[in-house]
Structures are given as structure tokens and as C-alpha cells.
Structure 1
Amino acid sequence: MAHGHKSDEKVVYVGDSRVIKKTQEQRLIPKDYSAYPGKSEAFVPNFLLKEWMVGVVVLVGILVLVMSEPAPLGYPADPKNTAFIPMPDWYFLFMYQLLKYPYTSDNYLIFGTVVLPGLLFGALLLAPFLDTGKERRFYKRPIASSLMILSLVAVSYLTYTSWAHYQAELKEKNIVPEHIKREEEMHANKGAAGGGGGKETKKAAAIVAADDPGAEIYKKATCLACHGAGLKGMPASGVPALLGIGDKLSKDQIMGVIKDGKGNMGKQYQANIDKGLNDADIDKLADWLSKQKTQ
């Protein structure tokens, strides 16, 4: 302890006044490192709480979308429906497109389904351990930033290509997606059940000229196997109804479909000849089908 201002006097410290005594409440407050270069805030609870709050906002937004727009549903699964085009959810479209390429399918299926996804997701898991730099600005981290940009470009390209290819397939095969077709049928059924609310409803199609010679020829033709005796087709399997076909196609156009096929239906002219029909019979069949109109 000092008792004066003499330079040779011995100083004895009873306690270190430079150490500030903290209360229990002060010790529980985490330090703020944001003002120090290369530092960040405390992970628990500051950073974790912010991430949790952002996650809650995103989850609420997803729940609102799910409740406001019901999921589109198609028909029950039919393994015999060869016209059905399977499509995954949008966030798997890039992987779906990737499996269409020769080096990820056929003989390389294991590489495309196990090895390549394993490498990609494995690299994602190892990224925090491989990139341990303190720099947070993306232009100061060329390797990590380049890999991120390359991944975003690849996923965006594969997603767009997959969706464009799906739309092209639908147009080429003249197929209406099942969830759209089923929704239209539900709206039509509701309108018919409710009387249309005073609005004019479309008259249901029925077989026209059931006593026509073409009707008897139809029973012997190959059309009967798919489109049925009532001309209703099999919408769930992608086979359109022939009721009202005359509103869409003329006799010559129907004859063209019989000869050249359309969509998933192949050429039927020779098949009908093989079943015992002749040119005159097929002409009468096309003429009768062209009479199938709703008006």
C-alpha cells in the first residue's frame, strides 16, 4: 500500500482496481463482436434466434400458399395407361432432366442416381469444412463463389429444359394433363348439378344416327377396342371420346387420322383391312364419325 509520492516507496496492491466486477446478470449478456474485423455475433442465442425467426416467416408463407391453392390431383394410378407422362415436383425437375441424358441412364443408371447426387450433396456437406476462410464478401472467395454460380446456372438450365420438354411432349401427343382434365370435369359436374346458375350449359353429346350403316361398321372396326361402344373413350388413359368429334374434325380429317394416326394412336387403316373391312366400309365409317356432333 502506498502512503506518499516518493519514487522509491514500495507499492503493495491489495486489489486490482482495473478489473471491473460484474454482476450475475451482466455475465449472461453475450458480447457483440460485430464491430471487430473478422468476427461475428454469438451463435447462441443471437444468430440462432434470427435464423429461427426467418424460418418461421418462410414456413408461414408456405402454409398460406398451401391452404389458398389446393394441390392439383389427377386420376387414380393406372399402370395400363401408356399415354401418361410422369412429372416430379418442380424442385426435382433438374434431377429428372439429368436422368434423361445418355451418361446418366441406361448402362450408367447407377452413376446418375447414386454416384453423381452423392458427390453433389457430399460436396455441399463438406463445404463448411473445406472453405474455412474468414472473408465473407463473395468476390473475395473466388472458388466458393464460382461453384455457387455454376450450380445455380446448371439447376436453372436443367429445370427450364425439363419443363419445356414436358410441354413439347404434351403438344406433340395432343395430351391434356390429368389434373387439368379432372378439374374441368369437376367444374362441369358442379355446373350441371347446380343448374348452371341461370347460365346456358353445354348440351351433353350423344350418339348421332345410331341406325346408320356406319354404326354397324364401327362395331367391327378397331376403334371399338379403345373408344368403346358408347364412343366415350377412356379419358383416364388418354383415349379421347368420339362423341362430338364431328365438331372438331371433318370427314377428310377423320380419314387422315385413320390412315396416318394421331398422337399415341398409330395407323389404323391396314388394321381395319385385316379385320375384314374394305375401302367403302372405312369411308362409311369416317362419314358416320363426322356426323357425331353436339348440335
Structure 2
Amino acid sequence: MHRGKGMKFVGDSRVPAMAGRKANIPKDYSEYPGKTEAFWPNFLLKEWMVGAVFLAGFLTLTIAHPSPLERVADPTDTGYTPLPDWYFLFLYQFLKYSFASGDYNVLGAFVIPGLAFGGLLLAPFLDRSTERRPSKRPLATGFMLLGFAGVIYLTWEATAHHDWKKQKEQGKIRAFVELNKEDPAYKLLQTNTCVSCHGDNLEGGAAAPSLQNSGLKPEEIAEIAKNGQKAMPAGVFKGTDEELKILAEFVSKAGQAAE
């Protein structure tokens, strides 16, 4: 056999091929002055400074304008109308329409919003154009503008047709005296659904005024309970004359106790 005949070269992955290997040096960006900088500490320092300014401004705003608090939520107050935050007002308004409420509530609450947000999630996969100009991507731009216009219109509709005066009144924090819920007269208030409108402690709500410190005499309260007044219909109280007298005296005293 001649020299070199049958010789084979075997590569071993355990031996690094150092020959011709270049050092792991970052790319030279000197040709692009002003367009790049070191991530640490230059870039992070700028980010931290911007975040600190924003945080200081946000804290100043919260101190200067405290968030408006409303009275404690009362599940027995059937006249309370809840209102979502501003960023959900468009969905709140959307559910007022006949095709998205009532028998079609599932359609308005889940199906249509699900399709809209699902399409938003799938947008990067459906539109894979490399163009950056909006005019070159008519479908994506059109759907974006349509959705944006829809959100603005529905939000405006919700704010323009909402009773803000009633909203403020029903959320007002009112001082009241805790009633004795073990008193037989209070049981009559519950039986005749008085607390559902006037509140657990007769402090009032959006559907009915406060009966604490009302200044009404027992005879006047009994008259209103039987014959109604303004939005309160007649015949709400269903009981004997003796029970009506007990209830009227209890409500009258509750009003005096709140003075």
C-alpha cells in the first residue's frame, strides 16, 4: 500500500476548530454615529429617567385629584344602575341595542366581541404584507379605522345619553344611623320590600329618598305607605293597621335618631 492510500480524516466535535475562528466581537456601528448606543448603562438610564418622571407626575395627579369614591355597594338596592369604566363604555352601549341584548344577549356579550378581538389577535397572521405605508395595506388599514371609529362612536353614545346627575346622586356617600335589625318593625320593612328601595338602613338610594332624619310624623309615613307618593305606587304596604302603626313609628324614630 502506498503512503497515504486509504487515509481518512475524522472530525471530532469535542475538539473546537480554532483555526480561522474570529473572536466574538460586537458589530462595529461607527459608521452610524448617533443611531446606536450601549444598552448598559446609557439606554437603561434614559428609560429609568423617563419612568421616574412619569411616576412623579402620576403621583402628583393622584394627590391633587383623589379618585372619587362612592358609597359602599348594597346588593339590596335594586335601583342602582352600575356603570363600567370609560374604556368599557363602548361595550356597555353596544349591549343596549336590540340585536345584542335580550334573547340575543349571548351574541352581543360573547360572539361579536369574540370575533372582533379574535380578528385583532389573528391580524399579524392574516396580513403578512411587508409594506409599511397604510395606503399599501387597504384591508388592514380599513378594518383598523372601522374598529377605531366604532369604539369612539359607541363611547360617545354611552356618555351622551347617560343620566350623570342620577349617577352622582346614587353614588353619594350618606351619613346614616345603623338601625336595629332585630326590632320587629324592621322585619316589617323587609317583608314589605321597603329596604329594597330605601336601603338597609333607610339611607336612601337612586330609586328612593332617605327616610332617616326625614322629619315626617308617624301619621304622614303611614299615609305614604298606604297611598304612595311620587314614584312610589299605592298599595306597597300589605299588612294590618296595627303593623302599619308599628312601622310608621319605627321609621319616624329612625329619622329623629339621625339628627
TM-score range, shorter chain: 0.5 to 0.7
Which residue of structure 2 aligns with residue 129 of structure 1? 125
> Which has the higher mean CA deviation after the structures are superposed, 154-163 or 109-118?
109-118
| C-alpha separation in 2, matches of 1:259 and 1:176 | 22
The one of 225, 233, 237 aligned to 1:267: 233
Q: CA deviation at 1:25?
A: 4.1
Q: Normalized per residue, which structure has more helix?
A: 1
> Which has the higher mean CA deviation after the structures are superposed, 66-75 or 134-143?
66-75
1:103 and 2:96 matched: no
Which residue of structure 2 aligns with residue 211 of structure 1? none
1:88 and 2:93 matched: no
Closer, same or farther: CA 150–69 of 1 in aligned 2, 3 Å: same
- Structure 2: runs of 5+ lacking an equivalent: 1-21, 176-193, 196-200, 217-223, 242-259
Q: CA deviation at 1:106?
A: 2.2
Q: Secondary structure at the match of 2:233?
A: coil
Closer, same or farther: CA 140–98 of 1 in aligned 2, 3 Å: same
Identical counterparts, % of pairs: 35
Q: CA deviation at 1:154?
A: 0.7
| C-alpha separation in 1, matches of 2:115 and 2:149 | 18
Which residue of structure 1 aligns with residue 145 of structure 2? 149
Which residue of structure 2 aligns with residue 74 of structure 1? 70
Alpha-carbon deviations, 1:89-108, whole Å to 9, x = none? Answer: 11011111112222222222
Q: CA deviation at 1:31?
A: 9.2
| C-alpha separation in 1, matches of 2:79 and 2:72 | 14
1:235 and 2:204 matched: yes
| C-alpha separation in 2, matches of 1:127 and 1:101 | 27
Closer, same or farther: CA 78–153 of 1 in aligned 2, 3 Å: same
Amino acid at match of 2:155: T
Contact in 2 for aligned 1:80/1:237 (Cα 8 Å): no
Aligned residues: 189
Contact in 1 for aligned 2:80/2:206 (Cα 8 Å): yes
| C-alpha separation in 1, matches of 2:53 and 2:105 | 36
Q: Secondary structure at the match of 1:166?
A: coil
Alpha-carbon deviations, 1:118-163, whole Å to 9, x = none? Answer: 2111111111122222222223322222111111111011111112
| C-alpha separation in 2, matches of 1:161 and 1:119 | 22
Contact in 2 for aligned 1:82/1:237 (Cα 8 Å): no
Amino acid at match of 1:157: Y
Q: Secondary structure at the match of 2:81?
A: coil
After TM superposition, list the pairs within 5 Å mapping 1:114-193 onto structure 2.
Answer: 114-167=110-163, 170-171=165-166, 176-178=169-171, 181-182=172-173
Contact in 1 for aligned 2:170/2:206 (Cα 8 Å): no
